[in-house]
Amino acid sequence: MAPSSDWVMIGNNEAIGLKAIAAVSFERFRQAVIEAVAGEARLSALPVWSPGDSGGLRVIAVLSLPQRGELGLLSAALPDRWPSLTPHCPAAHWFEREIAEQWGLTPEGHPWLKPIRFQPCRRHPDGGSRSACAGLTDFFAMAGQESHEVAVGPVHAGIIEPGHFRFLCHGETVYHLEISLGYQHRGIERAMTGGPVPRSVHYMETLAGDTTIGHVTAYSHLLEALAGATVPARGKAIRAIAAELERIANHVGDLGALAGDVGFLPTRDYCGRIRGDVLNMTAAVCGNRFGRGLIRPGRVQWDLDGGLTEDLLARLDAVEKDVTGAVPLMLDTPSVLARLEGTGVVSSETARDIGMVGVAARASGLECHVCAEFPYGIYRLAQLPVNTWTGGDCAARTYVRWFEVQASIDFLRHQLLELPAGPVDRKLSPMAPESLAVSLVEGWRGEICHVAATDRESRFAFYKVVDPSFHNWFGLALALRGQQISDFPLCNKSFSLSYCGHDL
Amino acid sequence: MLKILKTRFQQKYRTLSYPDGPAPEMPLRFAGRPVLDPGCQAGCGACRSACPTGAIMAAPAGGTLSLDTGRCLFCRACEKSCPQGLIRFSRDHGLASATRQGLVIETGAVQTVSARNELAATLFARSLKLRQVSAGGCNACEADCNVLGTPAWDIGRFGIQFVASPRHADGLLVTGPVTDNMRLALEKTYAAVPDPKIVIAVGACAISGGPYAEHAEQHNGASSVVPVDLFIPGCPPHPLTILDGLLKLSGRITAVENS
């Protein structure tokens, strides 16, 4: 279904004057979003902000329209109460909960309205809407002779970030898993407002530390769009090289962790080390294993000079050899496949309905990949193949990761051999005032969406971050239905979502 | 089975010989221990305004600068800003200190920083079990703690192990600035560790709040909630920096003079 004519279309990394975005009545806005998402569109962001002058709140829907390769924008004044979009548009589920919590508002008829982060309300910072304690909220309950609950976290058994998981079980079967997050909330979006300041780029680099390159790339694109500039080709290529190193490192680490969770130790041990070898390649580029300090708006801070490309190519060959030994070893082992296949299934309909993105969505057969749909930077010139699988189970998510590792290795080699010459930086003019821009990036987990608008003084009026985990945590909850608790580590690792990226 | 053995053979033996052998070489562009050269005309303040976390301070007497590695993100903004080129980052990975004050680097000074802990060097010398708590960490410090368990680093050979329960632990390793939402969980986890116990703070966030310092949503690091026995700076610290800290803590290696 084509979106209604109210939508204003822009490209990825394109700025637009705030006044050019159509403002319609909230009822019309609501209908337009529901209709568009029922068609081909993805709801990528739903930022709310207070423009200040009128005293009211405004909401902007940011839709991704993959078939057109464009982003649709529509705005409305946000009332204190509105008929919830979620019953008609499940992908709005988490967004409406976020808005309700951040602004103290009520989407009426929302099926399960409760906090997602346990953060202070922005309109009434001292108000009573905040729960006394993270995780203290309503949970689904189930009664019956064999029914019981298992609560895990926020502190987990391994070295991982905190989150609270509550399993509703009947006998051995999990009927539902509730995921309660917010333990990592550090106030990033609040602190970004009024920026940029020297710390802004560091918020982006530590927003989700394993996705440093992904988020700082989105941030840089946004600032460059608002300043009307792009970096030279060599800078774009180095950013993509860093992004693919990040993708390979995380996927290899996750493949190893999956092997560990099914008890196949050889692949776990090899992949744990190979992941480090890839992180060390990033460190060879910029000194930091996570890519801190490499990318800044308008530039990359380190060039690939002095034989570094040759060094990286040699290391890449070694990584390819090792990983091609380690991963197929697991995938050729029948007992490993038996454990992965049929575990934690998310159908493509469910994935589509709840708005899943990235690796998990592709494993459910959805062909969503920002590099192909809304290409940016060097991906406009060099293609990264999109790999999908149809099972929607842990095996599918494992295969998609493995295919992406191989595709990224090929892409990297090509980029390193064909690295454009020239400078790596461009002087940025100040950001345009009263403008908005959207930046989509395919991080290793999936679609990263940053949206920002500037005020009259060209400072951030708001800065909105949507990590792929924001879309996918609910998918993990649904994957657990009808499974056993012992399937949880496997399902969790096959999704491999970010806690801090969600909590901000 | 034969394929597993063949792959095992191909993947080779990879565990580091360190600390018996040489330490692995750090990347050429690695930002390790900062060095402040004397000769600052004190006054331009470019480094202080470039620093995102206020890690650089001028001595009250004037003239000399100091840099707090507990706040430092190792982003090199100060190094780039100094018109005289007096600030530089060496490739020295050894950054850990048993005291908060030991993290402050003075201009031109030769400092010997101790990271030794009597309890860790005696009672826990041969077996140190740690419970890791991420309290707002971004998953970078966590990842580089995790990596110490892989075959290349293999901290198990030092008797150090990350355990699943605080009841099984001799201490905590904390990452993250301690978000308000994790404060209670950290307090409870600390209380669940049997006495005597130690606490290790890893990364700028856990030491000072890092980039989130002074945010209302967090508590400026672990020492606001629990007593800290070892500070390991970095954003995130390199695995070798963390390992170095753990080995110095238990007295397996000793601090060398840093100049």
- One-letter amino acid at A116 equals I
B24 at A interface, C-beta within 8 A? no
| A196-217 tens-digit pLDDT | 999 999 999 999 999 999 999 9
Q: Which two tokens stand for residue A330?
A: 């697991």
Element (H, E) at A38: helix A26-38
Which residue reads 């293609």 in tokens? Answer: A383
Angle at A97 between CA A91 and CA A101, to 5 degrees: 155
Which pLDDT does position A127 carry in this prediction? 53
CB-based contact A207 B145, cutoff 8 Å: no
CB-based contact B77 A198, cutoff 8 Å: yes
Nearest to A500 by CA among A120, A205, A256: A205
Which residue reads 């509550």 in tokens? Answer: A166
Q: Is the pLDDT of residue A394 over 70?
A: yes
| B131-141 tens-digit pLDDT | 999 999 999 99
Beginning with the edge strand found earlier in the chain, give each strand of the sheet holding B56-58 in spatial order. B56-58, B65-68, B104-106
Q: Is the pLDDT of residue A294 over 50?
A: yes
**Contacting residues of B for A290, CB less than 8 Å apart:** 140, 143, 236
Which pLDDT does position A133 carry in this prediction? 80
Considering the segment(s) A196-467 as one domain, its CATH architecture is Orthogonal Bundle (1.10)
Of A108-122, A123-137, A238-252, B41-55, where does mean pLDDT reach its minimum? A123-137
The radius of gyration of chain B from alpha carbons, rounded to an integer in Å, stands at 19
Q: Is the pLDDT of residue B257 over 50?
A: no
Q: Is the pLDDT of residue A130 over 80?
A: no
Q: Are strands B198-202 and B171-175 parallel, antiparallel or unpaired?
A: parallel
Give B39→chain A minimum CA distance, Å: 26
Q: Binning pLDDT at 50, 70 and 90, where does residue A126 land? A: low
Q: Binning pLDDT at 50, 70 and 90, where does residue B60 land? A: low
Bridge partners of A151? Answer: A166
According to the 3-state scheme, what is the secondary structure of chain B? Answer: CHHHHHHHHHHCCCCCCCCCCCCCCCCCCCCCCEEECCCCCCCCCHHHHHCCCCCEEECCCCCCEEEECCCCCCCCHHHHHCCCCCEEECCCCCCCECCCHHHEEECCCCECCCCCCHHHHCCCCCCEEEEEEECCCCCHHHHHHHHHHCCCCCHHHHCEEECCCHHHCCEEEEECCCEHHHHHHHHHHHHHCCCCCEEEEECHHHHHCHHHCCCCCECCCHHHCCCCCEEECCCCCCHHHHHHHHHHHCCCCCCCCEC
CB-based contact B51 A119, cutoff 8 Å: no
Of A298-312, B41-55, B65-79, where does mean pLDDT reach its minimum? B41-55
The nearest alpha carbon in chain A to B219 belongs to A186
DSSP for A154-185? SS-SSS----EEEEEEETTEEEEEEEE--TT-
| B162-210 tens-digit pLDDT | 999 999 999 999 999 999 999 999 999 999 999 999 999 999 999 999 9
B41 at A interface, C-beta within 8 A? no
Q: Is the pLDDT of residue B256 over 70?
A: no
CA B69, CA B237: separation in Å to the nearest integer?
11
Q: Which two tokens stand for residue A242?
A: 């860093």
According to the 3-state scheme, what is the secondary structure of A383-437? Answer: CCCCCCCCCCCHHHHHHHHHHHHHHHHHHHHHHHHCCCCCCCECCCCCCCCCEEE
CA B122 → CA A301, A356, B17, B128, distances in Å?
Answer: 46, 52, 24, 11
CA B239, CA B243: separation in Å to the nearest integer?
6
Peptide bond into B194 cis (omega under 30): no
Question: Of chain A residues 209-228, which have a CB less than 8 A from chain B?
Answer: 209-210, 212
* Cβ contact A358:A403 at 8 Å: no
Q: Binning pLDDT at 50, 70 and 90, where does residue A9 land? A: very high
CA B40, CA A111: separation in Å to the nearest integer?
63
Which pLDDT does position A431 carry in this prediction? 93
Nearest beta carbon to residue B138 from set A160, A283, A500: A500
B12 at A interface, C-beta within 8 A? no
Which residue reads 């002074």 in tokens? Answer: B214
CA A6 → CA A3, A34, A36, A72, distances in Å?
Answer: 8, 14, 11, 9
DSSP for A464-500? EEE-HHHHHHHHHHHHTTTS-GGGHHHHHHHH---HH
* Cβ contact A159:A475 at 8 Å: no
CA B247, CA B122: separation in Å to the nearest integer?
13
Q: Quote the mean pLDDT of chain B.
A: 90
Correct CATH for B118-249 of 3.40.50.1000, 3.30.450.20, 3.40.50.12280, 3.20.20.30:
3.40.50.12280
What is the CATH superfamily name and number for domain A8-108?
Answer: NADH:ubiquinone oxidoreductase Nqo5 subunit (3.30.460.80)
Q: Is the pLDDT of residue B259 over 50?
A: no
Which residue reads 């708001």 in tokens? Answer: A462
Question: Of chain B residues 137-196, which have a CB less than 8 A from chain A?
Answer: 137-147, 149-152, 162, 164-166, 176-177, 179-182, 184-185, 189
Give A158→chain B minimum CA distance, Å: 6
| A225-284 tens-digit pLDDT | 999 999 999 999 999 999 999 999 999 999 999 999 999 999 999 999 999 999 999 999
Instruction: Select the more confidently predicted residue: A409 or B38.
Output: A409
Domain span(s) for CATH 1.10.645.10 in chain A: 196-467
Q: Is B82 left (phi over 0), alpha (psi -120 to 50) or beta?
A: beta
Question: Of chain A residues 37-66, which have a CB less than 8 A from chain B?
Answer: none
Element (H, E) at A138: none
Element (H, E) at A461: strand A460-466
According to the 3-state scheme, what is the secondary structure of A397-410? Answer: HHHHHHHHHHHHHH
* Cβ contact A161:A499 at 8 Å: yes
* Cβ contact B218:B179 at 8 Å: yes
Q: Which two tokens stand for residue A159?
A: 């070295």
Q: Which two tokens stand for residue A502?
A: 């969600």
CA A122 → CA A290, B21, B78, B190, distances in Å?
Answer: 32, 55, 34, 32
Q: Binning pLDDT at 50, 70 and 90, where does residue B258 land? A: very low
Mean pLDDT, rounded, for B211-234: 95
* Cβ contact B207:B169 at 8 Å: no
According to the 3-state scheme, what is the secondary structure of A73-134? Answer: EEEEEECCEEECCCCCCHHHHHHHHHHHHHHCCEEECCCCCCCCCCCCCCCCCCCCCCCCCC
Q: Which two tokens stand for residue A201?
A: 């780029």
| A316-336 tens-digit pLDDT | 999 999 999 999 999 999 999
CA A383, CA A410: separation in Å to the nearest integer?
11
Which pLDDT does position B43 carry in this prediction? 72
Q: Is the pLDDT of residue B236 over 60?
A: yes
Of A51-60, A275-284, A438-447, A481-490, where does mean pLDDT reach its minimum? A51-60
Percent of chain B with pLDDT over 70: 95
CA B208 → CA A185, A416, A455, B47, B235, distances in Å?
Answer: 17, 39, 32, 19, 12
Q: Binning pLDDT at 50, 70 and 90, where does residue A51 land? A: confident
Of A234-243, A495-504, B4-13, where does mean pLDDT reach its minimum? B4-13
Question: Of chain B residues 53-92, which have a CB less than 8 A from chain A?
Answer: 53, 73-77
